[in-house]
Chain A
């Protein structure tokens, strides 16, 4: 078993339970997941890393059945509200049909292996699964 690497750098695998980490603007509290030049809200340039709650509710979703070449379908794309921070993620470990997915449903962060590279490093992805 080789090492693990997160699919994106804001997925934290080496500090307790897996969780997401945002850059929070030190002056206005706006949260971002990407590398920042400055805050889009208040133009501040100081950020602190904050852990995002791993439970949330589905704010928006779609079940994608037709995607760009090479992307397996169906999958559920969504925006999950994690205690006020909106997170873009797939809903996983749930049947991708409208009978099993609805806005407002409670979900929690879950990780899964994406595959190993030629050096044996395993990439780990994340999604949100039903919390019940």
Chain B
């Protein structure tokens, strides 16, 4: 592989996640983007393409709105939307442009204002029954079906994904899922950019408000505001940079995006497993790296029930062994494969379109040795995973620079 085929992250930043009442999406996107540009020691004049995502206003053209505040240079903008994988999709889009040789530098940005958004998945407005029953839509439904035929809301969908795993392999319980949440909240206490840095006891988690059994409130991802941005270039461009820049650059050894292939039942309950497994398998192959080489993993713990299944899907454990794997302590920050040392989506927060770049920022932060109190010592290789229901899965494998 020649240097022009290699992809490097030369600048990456996330904003503090949380409530930003005084900032709009453009403010947050601008903060992340200008910080990432400064981190890369480039300006908007160097950027050849922008890929940007803001899921809640996906038709508003966040990329162009951002340009109007930080630099209108006439370059192409790709506004992307791919559910919770929107940020990873933006980065992947910028990477493809660089890989195609069309631009020297690409900028990827993801931003969301989600504080106080409440339940996602089921629409926010009350749906009333009609005066006269009339079949509508692809199921010929005469009335709203959310709550009558299963649930559309995310906590319940992912709860079923967790209980389904237990049905297939055993070993799961309400307490086990709560312990995963306990871990991530404990990890968050070391992350100053997390929306919540509060440690919870197991009892507190299990006795908190039940949202969709077995997910209580602290076991659900936190809706919040935030943005993240990254600047990428290829290995040829990297060669022209200073030694200091090359040392802080992070190699993107694999950048993969998948959707869910057809399997029986996948249109009844979303199958988040196969597309993640496919993305991981392709990523490991592309990077020439196996799960045992990973020093840390940021995976999509939109709910505690989801984290468990992704241990298996990312092949961090043997098939069906996720409960034993977690119980071994492997995924705590002092374990063999620390998972979500940022606090994960349950405490760091989940500003949807920012998430897919923010978890890559977390990995980069450790690979650069800049993670302070939560630094995973000697981190050389990490994996970042996101999943958006519908479905889309992004997996990126990142390696520390040898420079």
A binding-site residues for B, Cβ under 8 Å: 5-10, 30-35, 40-41, 58-73, 75, 77-79, 84-90, 98, 103-104, 114-115, 117-119, 121, 123, 125-126
Contacts and interface: CB of A to CB of B under 8 A. Distances in A.
A64 B163 contact: no
Which 5 A-B pairs rank lowest in CB-CB distance, beginning with the nearest? A9-B140, A68-B122, A86-B265, A62-B159, A71-B147
A69 B124 contact: yes
Interface in B212-256: 212-215
Contacts of B212: 62-66, 77
A118 to B, nearest CB: 5
B60 interface: no
Given A7-B143, A68-B146, A72-B147, A88 B213 contact: no
Interface stretch (B33-41, B150-158, B274-282): B150-158
A60 B133 contact: no
B272 interface: no
13 contacts: A9-B140, A62-B213, A62-B215, A65-B211, A67-B119, A68-B126, A68-B147, A69-B125, A71-B147, A90-B150, A103-B163, A114-B129, A123-B133
A13 B341 CA distance: 53
Contacts of B166: 103
B209 interface: yes
A21 B328 CA distance: 45
A68 B120 CA distance: 9
A10 B130 contact: no
Contact of A118 (B131, B139, B215): B131
- Among B135, B142, B150, which residue has the most Cβ atoms of chain A within 10 A? B150
Contacts, number: 172
Nearest to A118: B131
Given A63-B213, A117-B130, A87 B268 contact: yes
Contacts of A34: 138-139, 267
Interface in B151-194: 151-153, 155-156, 159-161, 163-164, 166-167, 174
Given A64-B153, A68-B146, 18 more contacts: A7-B142, A8-B149, A9-B140, A31-B264, A40-B267, A60-B269, A65-B212, A67-B119, A67-B156, A75-B147, A79-B164, A86-B268, A86-B269, A89-B149, A90-B147, A90-B149, A98-B174, A126-B149
Nearest to A65: B210
A62 B151 contact: yes
B163 A114 contact: no
Nearest to A35: B138
Contact of B156 (A7, A62, A119): A62
A62 B153 CA distance: 11
Given A88-B149, A123-B142, A115 B213 contact: no
Nearest to B305: A62
A68 B268 contact: no
B292 interface: no
Nearest to B166: A103
A6 to B, nearest CB: 8
Contacts of A90: 147-150
Contacts of B149: 7-8, 88-90, 125-126
Contacts of B214: 62, 98
A78 B210 CA distance: 17
A84 B265 CA distance: 9
A31 B268 CA distance: 10
B2 interface: no
B262 A89 contact: no
A86 B269 CA distance: 9
Contacts of B215: 62
A79 B148 contact: no
Contact of A79 (B126, B155, B211, B269): B269
- Among A7, A33, A35, which residue has the most Cβ atoms of chain B within 10 A? A7
A126 B160 CA distance: 19
Contacts of A87: 268
A7 B145 contact: yes
Nearest to A79: B269
A98 B210 CA distance: 12
A114 B148 contact: yes
Contact of A67 (B153, B160, B161, B264): B153
A104 B132 contact: no
